[in-house]
Every structure is written in structure tokens, then in C-alpha cells.
Amino acid sequence: MITNLNIMFPEIFLSLSIFSILMLGVFIKRSFNIIFNLTSLIIVITIAIIISNPNNEVKIFLDSFTRDPFSNYFKILILLSALFVLNSSKNFITDNKLDKFEYPIIVLLSILGMFFMVSANDLILFYLGLELQSLSLYILASIDRDNLRSTESGIKYFVLSALSSGLLLYGCSLLYGFTGSTNFDLIANQLNKDNTGAVFAMVFILVGLAFKVSAVPFHMWTPDVYEGAPTSITSYFAVVPKVAGLALLIKFMFIPFSNILFEWQTIIIFISLASMILGAVAAMVQNNFKRLLAYSSIGHIGYALAGVATGSISGYQSSIIYISIYVIMNIGAFSCLYLLKKDGEYKENISDLSGISKKNPLLAISLLIILFSLAGVPPLGGFFAKFYVFMAVLEQQMYALAIIGLLTTVMSAFYYLKIIKTIYFDDSVVTFEIVKNKSAQITIFASCIILVTFFLYPSVLNNLVGSLFISQ
């Protein structure tokens, strides 16, 4: 029993920490700063606990909970993403009067849900983790109650997410009915193409998961929620839940659905192609930077799913590398928005960026690097992310997917270049205040350094991701 608890120590520590700081917040007035700093400390300690734990594969509680290199990697990626997103947005949170002590606690609760999701080896545990994450995100989406746009985005997210969760639960119950088990390993043994009911259940589960990663045609909430929610919430939505969602997709394809590859492969290919095309086309006409990033993230998920669609180990690895680099690019992009302040208001329109190169050349260069990386321009990190995915796709001789992927990459370069043109060649419209936000500046600097120097050490991430499937 004690051994079991050691295996779950990151989750136990996180749960106890959440309850402790919640009590602190209730009894101490104006405790936002204390709780925010404690939240950052809790995240750092949790990372240290995961790193210090043995990295071997262990299953506990009737094989429903797994600790393995795969889950550990994604837990660390979730924690690091959340740490950088939170700290870079602190000034924004305070300036927009969102400094409620519940804010960082809800973020920690959503992380706890994601932990159970990525470690789940059972349908029940997976669904419990998913709902814990979703309930936290519903509150976060509408935390700015006085803002009509924020409230609207929260309601939209709640209604559509509840629908997708319902479909997912229906799929899980069908899968249990047709296989007689909720355990992933036992489901894999029972699943085959002749089990029509189970294949039908798999479709429902895929629909639910596609919603969580905002893949087409289940993306409809993304642009509205990204634009309506406060920027600090948007940056969290754009990064952290995506990591957990993709981890879960890969896990489902790799373990329970591994024997019905051809049945789900067609669906994933369609979703991947549709996401890449819609993301590229819709982003071209956007004037709001956050809304553009929303469509951009839909396109990027399309590329990550292209790796999953291969159904091969190299494909899954390429998707993990893609999402890891995507996280760095997106955190950097949103951190730039925290430095665009005029008359106490944070600007979000692309036109507001006009002529910023003359007033703030460092910010302009940072945006240039991040946008070029998002477009996949060599030798930046974003290029390697796409390169690995396309290599995995071509390995499986999926030429149509590779060609359309390359075409959408060229199309997406257009709207990124449009922003760069606005930054460097348009006349200045807005003169921004000098924002003292060291956390955001450090985050931007770190993401730019990683993206620029990635070509010097691609093997580090390759080897790390390559080790995730060895024990499987």
C-alpha cells in the first residue's frame, strides 16, 4: 500500500497542497499574491517529485493507474507550461482585477485532473480526470464575471464541452458494454474489426477527444472562447489542456485501439486534413491577434494529429515533439501580448502592432522569431516540429496527407508574414507604455532562445521522446 502511495505521490502532494492553500485563501484577506507565489512553488516541487521518482513502468489499483516515462514526460510538460503561463500573466491578472485567490487554485485543480488523465489506464479514471479538468476550465473561462464577452465565452465553452463530455461518456459506456472491461489493456485484447459495437464506441470517444484538442469539425468553441476570455485564460487554454488532450489521444490509439488501426486511421486523417485546411484559410481574414492564434492552434493540432494518424511509433513520437515545440511557441506569442499596453488597456488587434519595430525593436524581433517559427521557417524550432511529422507521414507512404500538409504550411506563412509586415513596414498607430513585466520578458527571451538554437541540439528532445515508448 505504501508503495502504491509513493507511485501516486505527485498527485497526493498536489491534492493536499490545493486543500491547504484553499483554506489559506478563505481565512486570509487579500491573499492572492501569497497563494499565487505558493502555487508557483507547489508546481516547482511537483516537478522535482516527478523527476526524483523512478522512471520505470508501474501499474497500481487493479492496473487502472500507470506511472511510466510517457505519463511522467507529459506531467512535467503540463507543469512547466502552467508555470510559465501563470507567471508571465501575473501583471495582466492584477491590472484587469482578476486577482481572486481562487484563480491559481482552479489552475492547480485542472492540472490535477490532467495528471489523472495522462496516468489513466482505465475508462473510469480517465473520465474522472477529464471531468475534474473540464469543471475547472468552465470556471476559468468565465472568471471575469463583469465582462460580457468573458461570460459569453464561458457559457459557450460550458455548453459545447458538456455535450462533448456526454458523447465521450456514451462512447465509454458502449465500449464497456461490448468488451466487458474498462481496463485499457483488456479492451485492447477484446477489440477487433469484427466487434462493430466497439468500433462504434470508438467513434464517440474520438469525437469527445477531438473537441478537447479543438480539432475540426469540433473546433467551433475555440475562436470565440480565445477572443472573449481574458488573455491570461486564453494563453492557458491554448497550451496546457491541448498537451493533456493530445497525450490522451496518443494513449487511446496506442493501447486500447491498437488492434483496429484501419478503423480509426481514416477518421484521424480526415480530422487532421480538415484542421490544417480550416486553420490556414480562416486565419487569413482575422484582425484580432487572439482570434488568429485560435485558428492557428487549430491548424497546429492538425499537424500533430497527422503524426498520430500514421499509427506508428515514429508518428506518435513526432506528434509529441510537435506539441512540445508548439507549447514553447504559443507561450512566447501570448507573453508578447502582455507587453502591449496603452492607457491601462491591453491591445489585441493586429493593426495595433503597426510600427512597433521603431518603438520597441526587441519585442518586434521576438515576435518575428516566434511567428517565423509558427510558420515553420528553417532553421527555427517550428520547422523541425513539422519536419519530423512529415517524415513520419512519408515513412507510412501517406503522400496525400503530406502534400496537403505542405500546402497548408505555405498558406499559413501568408498570415504570419502579414503580421510581420504590419510590425516592420506600417506606420505607427499606437504608442505603447513601457510595461515592467519581467516574467513575461524572461518567458519571451527563453522561448526565442530555444526556438533559435534548437537546430544545434535536436537530438536532446528526440532521444527523450524516443525513450517514452521503449518500456511499452
DSSP 267-328: HHHHHHHHHHHHHHHHHTT--BHHHHHHHHHHHHHHHHHHHHHT-SHHHHHHHHHHHHHHHH
Contacts 24+ apart (CB under 8 A), 67-72: 67/7, 67/8, 67/119, 68/471, 68/472, 69/467, 69/468, 69/470, 69/471, 70/118, 70/247, 70/251, 70/468, 70/469, 70/472, 71/118, 71/119, 71/247
Q: How confident is the model at residue 116 (pLDDT cuts 50, 70, 90)?
A: very high
Are 202 and 264 contacting, i.e. CB atoms less than 8 angstroms apart?
yes
Residue 375 has pLDDT above 60, yes or no: yes
Residue 345 DSSP SS3: strand
pLDDT value, residue 393: 92
pLDDT value, residue 74: 92
pLDDT value, residue 470: 55
pLDDT value, residue 68: 87
Query: Which cell goes with 377?
Result: 521557417
Are 289 and 233 contacting, i.e. CB atoms less than 8 angstroms apart?
no
pLDDT value, residue 415: 84
Which of 73-87, 214-228, 426-440 is the least confident region? 426-440
pLDDT value, residue 429: 67
**Distance between CA atoms of 355 and 422, rounded to whole angstroms?**
7
Please state the rounded mean pLDDT for residues 97-112. 89
At 403, which helix (H) or strand (E)? Answer: helix 399-425
- Mind listing the pLDDT tens digit for each residue in 66-81? 888 888 999 999 999 9
Half-sphere exposure of 339 toward its Cβ, with a 13 Å CA cutoff? 26
Residue 446 has pLDDT above 70, yes or no: yes
pLDDT value, residue 221: 84
How large is the angle between the packed helices 69-88 and 32-52, nearest 10 degrees? Answer: 160
Mean pLDDT taken over the chain: 86
Q: How confident is the model at residue 173 (pLDDT cuts 50, 70, 90)?
A: very high
Using CA atoms of 191, 196, 198, 201 in order, give the dihedral in degrees to the nearest 10: 150
Residue 472 has pLDDT above 70, yes or no: no
- Mind listing the pLDDT tens digit for each residue in 282-341? 888 888 888 888 888 899 999 999 999 988 888 899 999 999 999 999 999 888 888 887
Query: Which cell goes with 234?
Result: 486564453
Please state the rounded mean pLDDT for residues 123-127. 91
* Cα–Cα distance list, 384 to 61, 104, 295 (Å): 39, 34, 21
- Domain limits of the chain? 2-469
Percent of the chain with pLDDT over 70: 97
pLDDT value, residue 471: 47
Angle at alpha carbon of residue 157, lines to 151 and 160, rounded to 5°: 135
